[in-house]
Amino acid sequence: MITEPDAAAPGRARARQIVLRSPGGALSLRLPARALLVGAVLLLAAAAIAVVNLSSGDFPIPVGDVLRSLVGQGDPGTDFIVHELRLPRALVALLVGAALGASGAVFQGLTRNPLGSPDFVGLTVGAATGALVVILLLDGSGGQVAAGAIAGCVLTSIAIYLLAFRGGTQPFRLILMGVGVSALLEAVNSYLIVKGRLDEALAAQVWLIGSLSGRGWTEVTIVALTLAALLPVVLHYGRHLNMLALGDDTATLHGVRVERSRAVLALASVGLAAGATAAAGPIAFVALAAPQLAARLTRSPGPGILPAAAMGAALLSGSDWAAQRVLPDNDIPAGVVTAAIGGLYLTWLLAREWRRGR
């Protein structure tokens, strides 16, 4: 990649930007320098937390030995613990956090609302419904549960879009329809758990909380392929988010195909949320908090997709570390930690918006 600074417009202050170009010049990506720096720092922080997770546990391993194992120079015992027992979980935390962060950034950009995230508009609840149907009614497991979660998320998103469509889609209608559909599906989920057998209901409840325990290379593959397929699409069409935030008429005047851009971004964001939920269950609040925290660090007017993805990876990796260390000899689900952190964040966010009179 070739980097070059973007010249500031004469006569007015402008944030320094960097243009990343492919060698042939066919692809380019313009990023504010501060956003690029913040994203790099967050990625390093996420990687550092992941290394700490790999080194700690019932059998502590020095960080140096972990790093040697990762580059193929470890002893057989260390390689087994790192590669087979701990690395899949650490990678799922990083990738799921990144997918949720990017998905949340797109949703908040589309809805122009800091509460617009897959958690609040019912997508993760729909994914949970699909997974519960497979677990409790079809006696499925593993890949079948993941497929059910993806199907549930996609069908829920289609239902919300169709219910909110009235000659176009408006952000407030999407959020209101999402909240309504979410409440309905929560009731369905509770009914399915009540009617299920005790052992199945317990397994389903653990999945509903969101956990990284026991995740393997299958889950890594699911979320990695999801990111590889959809993150480039989100980055390409994400350039239109700022124009869409100015209103449909203004965006149209600037050459943005409003409904097409909004539909592509929404579908890609739904896919990211579905892949993340299929791999780890409905991890709460990461998609809500990561974009806003990243925006505060980058000082940008809207949630940047790459910084939000990096923040999501750092948040979920840190939450997984806390989930394994908060209670001695008791590995609690990571979703419990993210829910606790997210609850505090949501309280602060609502109080802040209330003080602003919004």
Distance (Å, whole) CA 279 – CA 294: 24
Run of H or E including 322: helix 305-325
- Over residues 88-125, the pLDDT tens digits come to 999 999 999 999 999 988 888 877 777 777 877 788 88
- Over residues 340-349, the pLDDT tens digits come to 887 787 787 7
Distance (Å, whole) CA 76 – CA 80: 6
- Reported confidence tier of residue 1, pLDDT bands at 50, 70, 90: very low
- Over residues 265-306, the pLDDT tens digits come to 888 888 898 889 888 888 888 888 888 888 888 877 666 888
Residue 102's alpha-carbon distances to 34, 95, 211, 219, 283, in angstroms, are 18, 11, 20, 18, 14
**Which residues does 310 contact at the CB level (< 8 Å), separation at least 6?**
38, 39, 40, 42, 43, 46, 98, 101, 294
Q: Is residue 24 part of a domain?
A: no
Q: Is residue 254 part of a domain?
A: yes
- Over residues 140-187, the pLDDT tens digits come to 777 788 888 888 888 988 888 888 777 666 667 777 888 888 888 889
Number of compact structural domains in the chain: 1
- For the chain, the average pLDDT equals 79
Question: What pLDDT does residue 7 have?
Answer: 43
Rg (CA), the chain: 21
- Reported confidence tier of residue 22, pLDDT bands at 50, 70, 90: low
Span 4-21, mean pLDDT?
A: 50
Q: In terms of DSSP H, where are the helices of 165-216? A: 171-195, 198-209
Q: Is residue 102 part of a domain?
A: yes
Q: Is residue 84 part of a domain?
A: no
- Over residues 219-239, the pLDDT tens digits come to 899 999 999 999 988 887 777
Q: Is residue 256 part of a domain?
A: yes
Q: Is residue 55 part of a domain?
A: yes
- The first and second tokens of residue 166, run together, are 């009235």
- The first and second tokens of residue 293, run together, are 């925290």
> Hey, CA dihedral for 191, 176, 206, 145, is it positive or negative?
positive
Given its phi and psi angles, is residue 11 left (phi above 0), alpha (psi -120 to 50 degrees) or beta?
Answer: left
Q: In terms of DSSP H, where are the helices of 71-114? A: 76-79, 87-111
- Reported confidence tier of residue 27, pLDDT bands at 50, 70, 90: low
Q: Could you tell me if 209 and 333 are in contact, meaning their C-beta atoms sit under 8 angstroms apart?
A: yes
Identify which of 283, 281, 332 has the alpha carbon closest to the alpha carbon of residue 134: 281
Q: Which residue has the higher pLDDT, 97 or 58?
A: 97
Question: What pLDDT does residue 29 have?
Answer: 60
Distance (Å, whole) CA 133 – CA 149: 9
Residue 192 has pLDDT above 90, yes or no: no
- The first and second tokens of residue 243, run together, are 């124009």
pTM: 0.84
What is the domain extent for residue 224? 33-73+89-357
Q: Is residue 66 part of a domain?
A: yes
Q: Is residue 81 part of a domain?
A: no
- Over residues 321-340, the pLDDT tens digits come to 888 887 766 778 888 888 88
CATH code of 109's domain = 1.10.3470.10
Q: Which residue has the higher pLDDT, 130 or 22?
A: 130
> Hey, CA dihedral for 235, 36, 296, 325, is it positive or negative?
positive
Distance (Å, whole) CA 37 – CA 43: 10
Q: Could you tell me if 123 and 270 are in contact, meaning their C-beta atoms sit under 8 angstroms apart?
A: yes
Identify which of 314, 315, 299, 312 has the alpha carbon closest to the alpha carbon of residue 37: 299
